[in-house]
Structure 1
Amino acid sequence: MSTRFPAGRLATLLLVSVTAVWGSTFFLIRDLVATVPSADFLAVRFAIAAVVMAVVFRRQLLALTRREVMIGVVLGVLYGLAQLLQTIGLEHTDASVSGFVTGTYVVLTPIFAAVLFRDRLPWTTWVAVLLATAGLAVLSLRGLSVGFGEALTLGSAALYALHIVGLGRWSTAGSATGLATVQAFVIAVVAGIAAVPGGLTLPADGGQWASLLYMAIVAGAVALWAQTWAQAHLPATRAAIVMTMEPVFAAFFAVLFGGESLTARMLVGGALVLTAMYVVELLGRRSPEASAEEDPPAELLHHEV
């Protein structure tokens, strides 16, 4: 990797691009799940993603060790369960509250990293966590009632945080593509098991299939690979802060394509999240602790093309 463009910087840009893609899917998912049950949608989406990735990344998949396959299975189960809990929780709570509660993974990630792996974080990271959380609250929170839906959504946030921590700990540049492929297969299986009781419902027309294919290939296969590769070069907490850009992009696309109006809440919330990005990506690099965590092990720099 060229010294003029460090792997960490490229990973950040890639992860921001992933959040933009995720943000673009909100209005598509909202329309699709009106006729296709959530578990069915997730099962078909990740099954397509897994098949595409297995064809494209066959060599990298076969090169995984047994340990790496098991890591991929565990991470896939975490992510698949998180998707299901978030989707079921959304059926019992407002979308705005769900968005905020899901975003609490930005707080849970450094806590889990500290408890499980004794990670020490620079003060700039904790400032960025607080700013990102405040931005999420301004963007999405319009009253919070704690009930069944909120509890499920908080559970999904905890699983997302564990997934982020796990990727940050075990993903390497060399194993990223194979690891992402294993995760896609496992997510499809987890969602498929949840879809079995009611039978599998497929999209009804070409427009729905086009949306599903976009979410399977671009927001599924490509995004899952990009997240896995990026987290081989980023500390888990910084990755979580970068991923809080998702609701900012969701608001942007809702205004651009969904017919929603630009509000002061969107501007203030988005500004807080962007400030968090600035703190962790620019100011954080100036501290000795951040510089130490920025330098990946030498083996991470030898990635597959």
Structure 2
Amino acid sequence: MNRSVIFADVSLLLVAFVWGTTFVLVQNAIAFLEPFSFNGVRFFMAAFLLGGWLVIFEREQLKKINKKLLISGIIMGLFLFIGYAFQTIGLLHTTSSKAGFITGLSVVMVPVFSFMLLKVKPGFNAIIGVSIATAGLYLLTMTDKVSLNIGDAYVLICAVGFALHIIFTGKYSSKYPALLLTVIQVGTVALLSGIFAFFTENWQQAFETGVLFKTNVVTALIVTSLFATALAFFAQTAFQKFTTPTRVALIFAMEPVFAAAAGFMWANERLSFSALTGCLLIFAGMVFAEIPAKKTLSIFRRKTA
């Protein structure tokens, strides 16, 4: 495994950490600012930050804008919008830890969609890793005493959106400049969120200082716009070219583990023994997928000889 792949994996794991630990922040914020309005402000702030950096320091990338790049960024932004829209709505009806767990089901969807859409067959280790992580996700989601509800269904749709976003990020990230592609996809999410907020929510709240400057809201907006949006999606777009969509999904499967830890520490959400076991299985699945396939097969052959 070369240094680029290792650095990419570590960077993507940090992205999963940031996403997982912001579930509680978002859930607290949307109690005051409705979901589409929150996402509209969050992604607009991120697009403004990234766009400013692009214009000031990476202006040469602007010369590479063309129709194909715009369409690629919009497609990525559309699936990202679906993911965040349904995730944020789901957080109104379910716990932050359960939302993190169900979002992690994208780890199962990515290799299936990759094969269906891109004809990419997952490797032996990836299949085993996904299977182990899926068992972990089952323990995290289906064996808890808390029953499933409409919020969980919304978050499941979000998992589909995120899975497709991972796949198309892998497809386009190696073709176009990372920063420019990130600005377009983040801007697309901001625009779509704003449109849906205008038609479905009390969008005027997004311009009320009494709402925006509530501690829960302003903290969530600053943290999520800078770290969980601008930096996170730039990192994903820049580093996913060094790995496969299935591998990225396995790394991102750690997000619900981080979400569970954050929910336990900051929101006093209980974690059962099965949930803890599920966390360990997800981690094991990610680690197993990192082991070179030749080494795994040689160990397997020695044991069966």
TM-score (norm 2): 0.84
8 Å CA contact 1:173–1:229 kept in 2: the answer is: no
Q: Does 1:56 align with 2:53?
A: yes
1:223-277 CA-to-partner distances (Å, cap 9, x unmatched) read 1101111211110011001001001111222333444456533431221011011
> Partner amino acid for 1:160?
F
Q: Does 1:32 align with 2:33?
A: no
Identity %: 31
Change (3 A) 1:94 1:252: closer
Q: CA deviation at 1:174?
A: 5.8
Distance 1:213 1:279 in 2: 35
8 Å CA contact 2:78–2:188 kept in 1: the answer is: yes
Match of 2:230 in 1: 221
Equivalence map 1:147-186=2 (5 Å): 149-172=151-174, 175-186=177-188
Q: CA deviation at 1:154?
A: 2.9
Count the aligned residue pairs.
Answer: 285
Distance 2:153 2:107 in 1: 17
Equivalence map 1:1-305=2 (5 Å): 6-58=3-55, 59=59, 61-66=61-66, 67-92=68-93, 97-141=98-142, 142=144, 149-172=151-174, 175-197=177-199, 198-202=202-206, 203-205=211-213, 207=215, 208-260=217-269, 263-284=272-293, 286=295
Distance 1:150 1:267 in 2: 20
SS at match of 2:246: helix
8 Å CA contact 1:68–1:179 kept in 2: the answer is: yes
Change (3 A) 1:35 1:154: same
Q: CA deviation at 1:70?
A: 1.5
Distance 1:136 1:214 in 2: 27
8 Å CA contact 2:102–2:137 kept in 1: the answer is: no
Q: CA deviation at 1:136?
A: 1.9
Change (3 A) 1:154 1:251: closer
Q: CA deviation at 1:7?
A: 1.2
8 Å CA contact 1:122–1:287 kept in 2: the answer is: no
Distance 1:94 1:252 in 2: 13
Gaps of 5+ in 1: 289-305
Q: CA deviation at 1:153?
A: 3.1
Change (3 A) 1:147 1:247: closer
When structure 1 is superposed on structure 2, of 26-35 and 47-56 the one drifting more is: 26-35
> Partner amino acid for 2:53?
V
TM-score (norm 1): 0.84
Q: CA RMSD in A?
A: 2.5
Distance 1:94 1:51 in 2: 31
More helix by share: 2
Q: CA deviation at 1:139?
A: 2.6
Distance 2:287 2:60 in 1: 35
